[in-house]
């Protein structure tokens, strides 16, 4: 593979990922360089093509009011939902390593269930196959299970009404907005701004660390472990270029594991986020399983406009022979 890509395994042939002894990694301070030696494929500078999702979750703050159980804005409680693919959910990684709902696609299976709200936390899910229920592990492992699930997915959730332990902004946006409008910037506002800056910097450093570790694992043939690292990058609010590379690496992992459906989905995510090295996608040996799928060409035609235009020109040439004189 050209270290910037990764894909999907055959569930029956690949070993189950262990669900214990999860490792939490410390932060490092590096840039997030992208090169062929760091990603299974090269970065694309194309504008991001994002799907339509509902509003994002806001981080939890101490000022959040307590709520009564039951109705909207109620106390936290657990619920269960069974969904068929496509689920219509976008997830994010919390500061606690957990998996939270970041957005819900309007009209999707998740939206129609009427159960989910942005910020709800995944407590447990169906196993990759069968009827066993697995407690939600660290974000990367949970996403591995959700992506590869065969059959309907049961999700056990905790209702949190938008509260996410995401380590993002500490906000107090109302305070900042009011003080800015009055033309006064207090020490408290500056403190919040500095804390937000430092947290974003830490998140970027952690994404880089996960990417580097994922690539090392990938090169060692440890595709399932590499997947956890790449998924962790995707769950930490990456920039579009980071997301495109991480998704390509996820696609390559799944391809090496012979799990084509998950690979196709991840490859779609990569191009949606702006990945444009279509030549690499069409030639990368690590994506051989994906290219053999009947879904590959229709997927590529959604994004590779140059390939479509070239084919159209060649078709005109062959029909009219106008360039053969």
Strands 89-93 vs 58-59: parallel, antiparallel or unpaired: unpaired
pLDDT of residue 164: 66
| 223-234 and 240-256 helices, crossing angle to 10° | 160
Supply 203's token pair: 């998140």
Q: What is the mean pLDDT of residues 181-185?
A: 63
pLDDT digits (tens, 9 = 90+) for 285-294: 999 999 999 9
Give the separation between CA 97 and CA 95, rounded to whole angstroms. 5
pLDDT of residue 175: 59
Residue 214 counted as domain residue: no
Give the separation between CA 230 and CA 214, rounded to whole angstroms. 6
Q: How confident is the model at residue 74 (pLDDT cuts 50, 70, 90)?
A: low
Give the separation between CA 141 and CA 148, rounded to whole angstroms. 11
Give the separation between CA 274 and CA 25, rounded to whole angstroms. 28
pLDDT of residue 23: 33
CA-based nearest residue to 250, from 231, 272, 277: 231
User: Is the backbone peptide bond immediately before 12 cis, with ω within 30 degrees of 0?
Assistant: no
pLDDT of residue 19: 36
- Return the number of other C-beta atoms located less than 10 Å from residue 197's C-beta: 11
Supply 164's token pair: 């996410």
193 versus 167: which is more confidently predicted? 193
Residues near 47 by beta carbon (within 8 Å), at least 6 away in sequence: 274
User: Does residue 256 have a pLDDT over 70?
Assistant: yes
Residue 300 counted as domain residue: no
pLDDT of residue 157: 95
Q: What secondary structure does DSSP assign to 249-269, as a single string? A: HHHHHHHHTB-HHHHHHHHHH
pLDDT of residue 96: 83
CA 61-115-122 angle, to 5 degrees, is 55
pTM of the model: 0.59
- The distance between the two most distant Cα atoms of the chain, rounded to a whole number of Å, is 80
7 versus 152: which is more confidently predicted? 152
Residue 123 counted as domain residue: yes
User: Does residue 104 have a pLDDT over 50?
Assistant: yes
Percent of the chain beyond pLDDT 70?
63
In degrees and rounded to multiples of 5, residue 135 shows phi and psi of -60, 145
Residue 129 counted as domain residue: yes
69 Cα distance to chain centroid: 31
In degrees and rounded to multiples of 5, residue 51 shows phi and psi of -75, 170
Residue 41 counted as domain residue: no
Enclosing domain of residue 131: 58-164
User: Does residue 69 have a pLDDT over 50?
Assistant: no
Among 15-29, 75-89, 171-185, 257-271, the minimum mean pLDDT is found in: 15-29
Give the separation between CA 143 and CA 136, rounded to whole angstroms. 9
Q: How far apart are the first and last CA of the chain?
A: 42
Q: What is the mean pLDDT of residues 4-14?
A: 35
Residue 193 counted as domain residue: no
14 versus 120: which is more confidently predicted? 120
pLDDT of residue 106: 92
Residue 82 counted as domain residue: yes
Q: How confident is the model at residue 42 (pLDDT cuts 50, 70, 90)?
A: very low
Residue entry with tokens 């496509």:
86
pLDDT of residue 39: 52
Q: Collapse the DSSP code of 183 into the 3-class scheme (helix H, G, I; strand E, B; otherwise coil) and give the result.
A: coil
pLDDT digits (tens, 9 = 90+) for 207-254: 999 999 999 999 999 999 999 899 989 988 899 999 999 999 999 999
pLDDT of residue 150: 84
In degrees and rounded to multiples of 5, residue 307 shows phi and psi of -70, -40
pLDDT of residue 184: 63
Strands 133-135 vs 121-126: parallel, antiparallel or unpaired: antiparallel
CATH number of the domain that residue 156 is part of: 2.30.42.10
Residue 247 counted as domain residue: no
14 versus 289: which is more confidently predicted? 289
Q: Collapse the DSSP code of 156 into the 3-class scheme (helix H, G, I; strand E, B; otherwise coil) and give the result.
A: strand
Supply 202's token pair: 């830490």
Domain count for the chain? 1
| 260-272 and 296-303 helices, crossing angle to 10° | 0
Q: What is the mean pLDDT of residues 119-133?
A: 91
pLDDT digits (tens, 9 = 90+) for 22-37: 333 322 222 334 444 4
Say if residues 260 and 6 touch (Cβ distance below 8 Å): no
């Amino acid at each position: 593979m050209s270290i910037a890509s990764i894909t999907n395994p055959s569930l029956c042939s690949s070993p189950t990922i262990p669900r214990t002894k999860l490792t939490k990694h410390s932060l490092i301070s590096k840039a997030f360089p992208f090169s062929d030696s760091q990603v299974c494929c090269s970065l694309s500078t194309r504008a991001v093509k994002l799907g339509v999702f509902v509003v994002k979750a806001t981080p939890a703050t101490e000022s959040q009011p307590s709520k009564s159980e039951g109705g909207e804005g109620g106390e936290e409680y657990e619920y269960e939902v069974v969904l068929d693919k496509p689920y219509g959910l976008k997830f994010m990684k919390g500061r606690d390593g957990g998996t939270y709902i970041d957005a819900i696609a309007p009209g999707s299976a998740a939206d129609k269930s009427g159960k989910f709200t942005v910020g709800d936390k995944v407590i447990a899910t169906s196993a990759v196959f069968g009827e066993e229920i697995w407690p939600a592990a660290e974000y990367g492992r949970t996403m591995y299970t959700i992506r590869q699930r065969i059959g309907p997915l049961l999700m056990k959730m905790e209702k949190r009404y938008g509260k996410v332990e995401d380590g993002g902004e500490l906000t107090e946006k109302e305070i900042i907005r009011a003080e800015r409008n009055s033309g006064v910037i207090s020490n408290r506002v500056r403190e919040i701004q500095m804390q937000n800056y430092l947290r974003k910097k830490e998140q970027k450093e952690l994404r880089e660390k996960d990417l580097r570790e994922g690539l090392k694992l990938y090169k060692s043939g440890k595709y399932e472990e590499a997947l956890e690292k790449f998924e962790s990058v995707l769950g930490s609010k990456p920039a579009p270029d980071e997301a495109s590379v991480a998704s390509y690496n996820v696609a390559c992992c799944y391809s090496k594991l012979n799990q084509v459906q998950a690979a196709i989905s991840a490859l779609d995510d990569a191009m949606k986020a702006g990945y444009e090295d279509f030549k690499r996608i069409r030639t990368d040996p690590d994506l051989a399983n994906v290219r053999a799928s009947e879904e590959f060409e229709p997927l590529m035609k959604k994004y590779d406009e140059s390939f479509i235009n070239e084919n159209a020109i060649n078709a005109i040439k062959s029909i009219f022979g106008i360039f053969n004189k």
